[in-house]
Amino acid sequence: FDEAAVSGEPVPVSATLFLEVDALEPALARAAEVGGVAGEVDHTMGPYVSAVCTDDQGTVFGLLSSRLEAE
């Protein structure tokens, strides 16, 4: 909605499923290990760190955590 309001242009509807994990870096490593593509870490989701990834079949999903590294 915000993008459409700012640009004045139609914007296709989309959604990305985000999964909460204990720590982001180990989950990103595992996603890459099983053939996916781990996305860049984003620090703009409030108190969380997140990344948009792709699995080995090309499905896009997000990972979200309050911690970057495992304790």
Residue 19 CA to residue 9 CA, distance in Å, equals 30
Write down the pLDDT at residue 57.
Answer: 96
Write down the pLDDT at residue 14.
Answer: 83
Write down the pLDDT at residue 60.
Answer: 97
Give the pTM.
0.79
pLDDT at 4 over 80: no
Residues 6+ apart with CB under 8 A from 63: 18, 19, 21, 24, 27, 28, 31, 50, 51, 53
Read off the pLDDT of residues 18-66 as tens digits, 9 standing for 90 and up: 999 999 999 999 999 999 999 999 998 889 999 999 999 999 999 999 9
